[in-house]
Amino acid sequence: MVAAGLVALAAYLLSRFKAVLPPLILAIILAYVLAPSVGFLQQRLKIPRWLATLMVYSQMLAVLVLLPALFIPPVVERLQLLAAALEQILASLETYMGGAVVIGGVTIDGAQIIEQAVVTLRNILEPIFGRTLGFAFEVLGSAVMGIFVLVISFYLVKDSAKLRAWLRTLPPANYRADFRRLWHEINAIWGGFFRGQLLLALVVGTGFTLVGSLIGLPFALAMGVLAGLMEFLPSIGHTIWMVVAGLLAIFEGSTWLPIPNWAMLVLVAGLHTLFAQFDLNYLMPRIVGRRIRLHPLVIILGIIAGASVAGALGVFLAAPTIATSRVLGRYVFANLFDEEPFPPPAAGQHEPSASA
């Protein structure tokens, strides 16, 4: 009864204060990403925590001021040109397949198929990107919200040690050892995801931009940025990028290689297949780590559910949220049936470090 009452109270509070949740979650994410840099600076320079936090945030703000002026305008321009080119490609595709085709006495309306495909694609992407852009512009356009995120994250980083010490006193004495184990395991999931995902997106975006320029892929810079962003959509990001790149290759061809468009499509598909295997078997295990360990089908379903609930934020946080729920669910299930909540790790796996 107590547990049910607490769940009901939490649901009520979430519904009442749901407007505060997105910026609060952004503040927590920002604090989580910047905390290791603050800790490193504090230990290296032997300075107080507040001073290290102030230095890191000052550098971050300087980058945020310079980045839009130097890099964002050309990237946005290329993305707009890419969007216009895709609109023309879709129009051309509809023209080519606009006529009805009779196969075995069955009439196939190509225009209707294309229309249904476009509608389906928009229905899939709208909850992911539509609410994302709206939310992003709301946050960027509201100085108060931006200040809120920065201030909350600043204090979360500065007082992180005190917060951890306070959280560890909340569980009853008999459960504090279990709390520490759960804390370290969940911390490993989120830490590996955030820092690894950001690094992975940077590596992939840079690599795709360079390779795209070498083979003459149209809008190489925009496609590199898109590839980096698609790394935040596990399991389906590669498919989305390949569809866009395939349309560019078959309709636009290479910007400088003297090869037919179909050969450009084969080249892009082959390179992308090789990279997808390299990303899945080498980059992701080593950069993001194996802490999440979720089946691709579970990730895809989580992305769809996250998009419908919280837009881009739900998409981005779907995988670590599911992994965290699995850890907590396993612990609750084991205690309900008097089983060992922390079974020994399987061969090739390691216990979460106590210093996580």
Q: Are residues 208 and 322 in the same domain?
A: yes
Asked if residue 14 is part of any domain, the answer here is no
Q: Are residues 199 and 339 in the same domain?
A: yes
Q: Are residues 325 and 253 in the same domain?
A: yes
Q: Are residues 146 and 176 in the same domain?
A: no
Q: What does pTM read for this prediction?
A: 0.66
Asked if residue 210 is part of any domain, the answer here is yes
Asked if residue 142 is part of any domain, the answer here is yes
Domain end call among 170, 186, 221: 170
Asked if residue 7 is part of any domain, the answer here is no
Q: Which domain holds residue 145?
A: 21-77+127-170
Q: Are residues 269 and 204 in the same domain?
A: yes
Asked if residue 120 is part of any domain, the answer here is no
Q: Which two tokens stand for residue 96?
A: 């080519």
| 213/223 Cα distance (integer angstroms) | 10
Q: Are residues 191 and 325 in the same domain?
A: yes
Asked if residue 315 is part of any domain, the answer here is yes
108 beta partners: 101
Q: Are residues 39 and 179 in the same domain?
A: no
CA dihedral 311, 297, 287, 240 (to 10 degrees): -60
Inter-residue contact 175 to 195 (CB < 8 Å): no
Q: Are residues 162 and 260 in the same domain?
A: no
Domain end call among 104, 136, 170: 170
Q: Are residues 243 and 153 in the same domain?
A: no
In order of 31, 150, 153, 187, the CA distances from 160 in angstroms are 9, 15, 10, 13
How many C-beta atoms lie closer than 10 Å to residue 238's C-beta?
A: 20
| 20/148 Cα distance (integer angstroms) | 10
- The confidence score (pLDDT) of residue 117 equals 62
Q: Are residues 162 and 177 in the same domain?
A: no
Inter-residue contact 251 to 96 (CB < 8 Å): no
Q: How many domains does the chain have?
A: 2
Q: What is the residue-wise DSSP string for 245-278? A: HHHHHHHH--SS----HHHHHHHHHHHHHHHHHH
Asked if residue 355 is part of any domain, the answer here is no
- Mean pLDDT of each 10-residue bin along the chain, 356 residues long: 85 78 82 87 90 90 71 66 72 62 56 62 51 47 70 89 86 88 87 81 90 90 84 77 85 87 90 85 69 73 77 77 89 87 63 46
Q: Are residues 248 and 154 in the same domain?
A: no
Q: Are residues 28 and 166 in the same domain?
A: yes
Domain end call among 153, 170, 187: 170
